[in-house]
Structure 1
């Protein structure tokens, strides 16, 4: 039970990073004496509003079939949002995110994988919601809620910071998807690369030749109004 777990928590002493001093959020971390329960909270420094919280229970139990149906978990997440979403929120779009166990490559020796790797799978339903305008998601206004599939309790949430109403561009006079794709490929064509696949400490028998995107110059996008390709430089080399 989450209440029993929370009762065992104590505040952790932490040395905040330099960037946290400028952040509008204050971070708090908690753990149980046996370090099997962790929690973290982020609150707005000015208002005290909790904008993120997470509770993690580290157990030795193997993954169990879900006891709580997904639609019931979704109802829990939806009811939570109806109460705590930003007052400026009018429309939300739900994005389904379901964990699917991927099939391992044929060259992976399962007996050499880390102990317990295949036994401990996520035990939460994850629900993502986006604020929308004219049916278009606003990507920096997102909500994430995790619901335990064994208990039906919320184990973590992240709320979009309350903001004023945005003056968003009109989506009527935009280029088509085909025009955007043409502009993208004109500026960002796939590049031939030799890749040697690796899974944990195991490698494929030999390298393979693939076409893949080259992001060495940064990531890019196509302006839907002008059709211009815009590069966002990477900051990998920054200190």
Structure 2
């Protein structure tokens, strides 16, 4: 049976920051934050046969693989082997470690670990370790995290560690455990990237990550792609690259800075979704964040990056509000106002209030899905989510995820979808004539030219959906975190998600009269994002272009940053503990 990951909330992980209240899928209790943010994808694990340790003992080679890790991380040697997976399933095997027996339980979690190895080479593929004694919401400094990660990699790989370069930027990950009394402990860690060196040039988005907590413990390891047998002959020779200075001139020619407001610009961030300090801000952002082909000297096309195209539109709002105080009212509203087929949809659970820490208000979450007892519904489930203010019932957003449209070809044009989005959103805009900046993402229509579509399974193709964000203006400048979002199914022409936007009148935005010239902000951006020579070999659902790209790409600033339009200086968003 096919497996589908349930997605709740509106599809908003796009180029611009958009205000939305979207909880994690049911059962999810782990968060990963990349700094700076990067696109990523995930797939559910395949089913494997599990053998309890009492029935199947480790082979000599398996024990040897495990003993090597015990030597590097002695804490793991204090745990018991609880069960392993069948190495014949996928050419790899996993071992699960823990304290006590497999059936032991308690309010406070015991130490546990999972390690995955290549069944042939014995290479470590994946590892994670949760120790309650190490729980902390603090993270290590970048320098300390890189030092401890490098020490681990040297022990793991020996001299082969010289074939990798430590990435400049860190990611951050977090997980938590809650007991039935509401007590919670949190783990956080910095994630250090190691990229393989080909011809002395790092290959990005390849290699592995090492997780390090605030005390310097190694808590995780994850390999993005196999390090074996990289075809170096396919990699362009860096000797043929244009000079760095020439690349800088060409890159600077592409970059233009754009003004935007943010009502809630974070000044600090915290792991595990905790409230971060914010303030209203006027910022400059670049319109181009791509790469320069180091051989051709031109911007690289077809890498899978999609930028929304903004345009100004004058719309006529009607000032209407949508309200649903109960599940029954929600079903009626979804069917009558939004045209969602709610026949035979089952409410998964009664909604419970949750606190939206950013908006400082209580939210109710509703989720319906098609019944399990019908084969077609198991194969192509449909989910509908609705989020409202708990006290007023005011609708904040809704979304429909329908797997029956995965891989289908769109039947309407982008312009038709755009007009449907405009017609949908106008009743809920403030009453009267209002100018907005409309940003369009035809994400469902994009497939890189190097992809052979005949080799793509239907389940790997996206649902064809176009996304539109209507950003309100202040002093003629878009407020990017207060946009109304509308998504349209390109097959049916129906709206499948909506997020209520609008300016918060209690927030006083900075006066735009004192902004520095765009050229000043551009010089600041180029200074803090110097170019570097790297290889890129993008992947689209298992397919790659015939050869890697050799490109000059900007070095990301360490951590999250933005350029203050009133000073022209870079502001670093600090981690809060």
Measured against the shorter chain, the TM-score band is: 0.7 to 0.9
| Structure 2: runs of 5+ lacking an equivalent | 1-334, 372-376
- Cα gap change, 1:208/1:93 in structure 2, threshold over 3 Å: closer, same or farther? closer
Shift of 1:8: 1.9
- Cα gap change, 1:222/1:4 in structure 2, threshold over 3 Å: closer, same or farther? closer
Cross-structure match for 1:103:
448
Cross-structure match for 2:157:
none
Shift of 1:136: 0.8
- Cα gap change, 1:79/1:195 in structure 2, threshold over 3 Å: closer, same or farther? closer
| Aligned partners of 1:93 and 1:131 also within 8 Å | yes
- Cα gap change, 1:40/1:89 in structure 2, threshold over 3 Å: closer, same or farther? farther
Shift of 1:194: 4.6
Aligned to 1:226, the other structure's residue is in SS state coil
Cross-structure match for 1:123:
464
- Cα gap change, 1:178/1:161 in structure 2, threshold over 3 Å: closer, same or farther? closer
Cross-structure match for 1:50:
395
Cross-structure match for 2:525:
184
- Cα gap change, 1:166/1:212 in structure 2, threshold over 3 Å: closer, same or farther? same
Aligned to 2:404, the other structure's residue is in SS state coil
Give the alignment of 1:80-99 within 5 angstroms: 80-85=424-429, 90-99=434-443
- Cα gap change, 1:206/1:155 in structure 2, threshold over 3 Å: closer, same or farther? closer
| Aligned partners of 2:529 and 2:557 also within 8 Å | no
| Aligned partners of 1:40 and 1:53 also within 8 Å | yes
- Cα gap change, 1:207/1:145 in structure 2, threshold over 3 Å: closer, same or farther? closer
Shift of 1:32: 0.6
- Cα gap change, 1:208/1:92 in structure 2, threshold over 3 Å: closer, same or farther? closer
Question: Alignment partner for residue 22 of structure 1, among 355, 373, 377?
Answer: 355
- Cα gap change, 1:93/1:109 in structure 2, threshold over 3 Å: closer, same or farther? closer
In 2: Cα distance, 1:122 partner to 1:134 partner: 37
- Relative to the length of structure 2, the TM-score reads 0.35
Structure 2 residue 513 is the aligned partner of structure 1 residue 172: yes
Cross-structure match for 1:133:
474
- Cα gap change, 1:41/1:194 in structure 2, threshold over 3 Å: closer, same or farther? same
Aligned to 1:129, the other structure's residue is in SS state strand
Looking at CA atoms only, which structure, 1 or 2, has the larger radius of gyration? 2
In 2: Cα distance, 1:216 partner to 1:132 partner: 29
Q: Deviations over 1:87-123 (max 9, x none)?
A: 7995322123223423343xx666654x1267x4543
In 1: Cα distance, 2:424 partner to 2:484 partner: 11
| Aligned partners of 2:397 and 2:499 also within 8 Å | yes
| Aligned partners of 1:42 and 1:50 also within 8 Å | yes
Shift of 1:76: 3.5
In 1: Cα distance, 2:552 partner to 2:486 partner: 36
Shift of 1:157: 0.6
In 2: Cα distance, 1:164 partner to 1:204 partner: 49
In 1: Cα distance, 2:369 partner to 2:479 partner: 35
Cross-structure match for 2:137:
none
Indicate the larger mover: 184-193 or 172-181: 184-193
Cross-structure match for 1:78:
422
- Structure having the higher helix fraction is 2
| Structure 1: runs of 5+ lacking an equivalent | none
- Cα gap change, 1:161/1:22 in structure 2, threshold over 3 Å: closer, same or farther? farther
In 1: Cα distance, 2:432 partner to 2:511 partner: 19
- Relative to the length of structure 1, the TM-score reads 0.75
Count of residues in Structure 1 that have an aligned counterpart in Structure 2 = 228
In 2: Cα distance, 1:220 partner to 1:169 partner: 19
Structure 2 residue 518 is the aligned partner of structure 1 residue 145: no
- Cα gap change, 1:232/1:89 in structure 2, threshold over 3 Å: closer, same or farther? farther
Question: Alignment partner for residue 41 of structure 1, among 361, 386, 390?
Answer: 386
In 2: Cα distance, 1:85 partner to 1:31 partner: 29
Cross-structure match for 1:218:
559
In 2: Cα distance, 1:199 partner to 1:11 partner: 35
- Cα gap change, 1:126/1:201 in structure 2, threshold over 3 Å: closer, same or farther? closer
In 1: Cα distance, 2:463 partner to 2:521 partner: 37
Shift of 1:165: 5.3
In 2: Cα distance, 1:203 partner to 1:127 partner: 29
Shift of 1:11: 0.7
